[in-house]
Amino acid sequence: MKSTPLCRFRRGGYQRKLVEQPLFGVPFTMKDALEVENEIITCGVYNRRDTKCDRTAEAIKRLQAAGGILLAVTNVPEVCMWVEAINTVYGRSKNPYDARRMTGGSSGGEGALLGAAGSVVGVGSDIGGSIRMPSFFNGIFGLKPTPGVIPLEGHIPEPTGYKTNMLRIGPMCRFAEDLPLMLRIMAGSNAKSLNLNEPMEGKKLRVFYMEGITGSPILQPLEDEMRQALRNAVNFLERKYDIVAQCIELPAAKHVMEYFTLSMHEDTTDPPFNKLMLCTNGTKGEVNCYTELFKYFAGKSQHTLSGIVAGIIDANELPFSEANAKNLLYKRDRLKRQVKELLGTDGILLFPSWPCTAMFHNEPILAPFNFCYTALWNVLSVPVVQCPLGLDSHGLPLGVQVIGNQYTDRNLIAVAQVLEEGFNGWTPAGPL
């Protein structure tokens, strides 16, 4: 019999098609905070549950143009401002390794779906750890790329002011080899600035590490298994590249919560949460969050406690004098310069993903500032990749953050791939 057109397509046309559309036929998922035309995107807000978008986020457009098929939109906390993915529209997301535990936020549903092998690749966003926390808790890889590489158009809400240096859209996936492809597609022509095709020179790599943030009484200290996971990763890289890693401290990092709070409000023109995010279409009226707080405890509110508290905090003046705020921003920018000069073009910093593995549901209320372990690197505007490092004694994912300078994303991806080889990467979850 003669060869069928399908055979000829496989021999020639199929390969050409993959060059034109490298995600041809590949399903992907995304968090519920990126607009998709004619789809309901809620950002976890009850009053947006029937609101359809009139445009598609640029990053999602590029994935679809590359042949990707949007399979599902995944759960987030209300207004994407909490470390647990729970809202009154879709309920609570649960960790595939232990359904009693948190998935992280705000890309928590995305992390859980990928960790459970329910999706091939996914898209999250990150202004305080919202890619890296869910990636860590659910045992997958997540990349917060260099600022300005992946466009933010179509994100809910779109950032203004210093937030544009903090918020990033980025890939989440089970396998490190998928990171560069996803990054290249979403970055478009900006990918050229990252030199993703250039190999990392391991022998020239300079490795630093920190065992948490010292000197801050509001942060939970690093637990033993998280410390050991960090050290295991450091030791592995030392042996792999025959180098000596250096343990460092950044004393100014202890003010991370103040830096984060000020950075979220610096030069921003965003409407407050109680007007932008807690109202229908984000444009009309506003919600009285104090009233909602009473209604919540009476079981009558359509909002979550985290959303109400975020609205109250955002609507009030910052607790800093003008002189104190100016001094803190100076310290932030000095720390930013210090990290930049330390890492250069061939340095990486290994840092704990969180002080502990996934907490039980609602437990983060007792440790609300743990997100500072990830938020520090948003404040400093540097790219970070979260890497899984096996499971702890409770069968929960361990992990480490790898930080680099802006435009050294290829080094971070290369290190993620090396750590995947050394620690087997994503570990499938057992039966719940």
Higher pLDDT, 10 or 269: 269
**Which residues neighbour 128 within 8 Å (Cβ) at sequence distance 6 or greater?**
166, 260, 371, 374, 375, 378
**Which residues neighbour 170 within 8 Å (Cβ) at sequence distance 6 or greater?**
123, 124, 125, 126, 131, 142, 143, 144, 145, 150, 183, 186
Three-state DSSP class for 300?
coil
Q: Is 197 among the domain residues?
A: yes
Q: CA 62 from chain center: how many Å?
A: 19
Q: Is 428 among the domain residues?
A: no
| 293 phi and psi angles, rounded to 5 deg | -65, -45
Mean pLDDT (whole number) for 80-86: 95
**Which residues neighbour 224 within 8 Å (Cβ) at sequence distance 6 or greater?**
none
Q: Is 91 among the domain residues?
A: yes
Residue whose structure tokens are 């983060």: 364
User: Is 204 designated active site?
Assistant: no
User: Is 31 designated active site?
Assistant: yes
Q: Is 93 among the domain residues?
A: yes
Share of the chain above pLDDT 90, in %: 84
User: Is 381 designated active site?
Assistant: no
| 344 phi and psi angles, rounded to 5 deg | 55, -145
Mean pLDDT (whole number) for 328-335: 98
Q: How confident is the model at residue 278 (pLDDT cuts 50, 70, 90)?
A: low
> Pick from 109, 106, 91: which is nearest to 304 by CA?
91
Q: Is 2 among the domain residues?
A: no
Q: What is the pLDDT of residues 212-260, one digit of tens each?
A: 999 999 999 999 999 999 999 999 999 999 999 999 999 999 999 999 9
Q: Which amino acid is at 337?
A: R
pLDDT of residue 350 exceeding 50, the answer is yes
Give the active site residue among 93, 94, 106, 125.
106
Mean pLDDT (whole number) for 355-370: 97
Residue whose structure tokens are 């600035």: 193
Phi-psi region of 115 (alpha: psi -120 to 50; beta: other; left: phi over 0): alpha
Mean pLDDT (whole number) for 322-345: 97
Q: Is 5 among the domain residues?
A: no
Q: Is 1 among the domain residues?
A: no
Cα distance between residue 416 and residue 397, in whole Å: 16
**CATH classification of the domain holding 385:** 3.90.1300.10
Mean pLDDT (whole number) for 10-25: 77
Mean pLDDT (whole number) for 260-283: 70
Mean pLDDT (whole number) for 110-123: 98
Q: Is 4 among the domain residues?
A: no
Q: Which amino acid is at 294?
A: F
Give the active site residue among 107, 119, 125, 130.
130
Mean pLDDT (whole number) for 177-183: 98
Q: Given this model, what pLDDT does residue 337 score?
A: 98
Cα distance between residue 224 and residue 216, in whole Å: 18
Domain count, the chain: 1
> What range does the domain containing 407 cover?
13-423
pTM of this structure: 0.94
In the chain, count of helices (H) and strands (E)? Answer: 15, 12
Q: Which amino acid is at 90?
A: Y
Three-state DSSP class for 324?
helix
Give the active site residue among 31, 61, 94, 275.
31
Arithmetic mean of pLDDT over the chain: 92
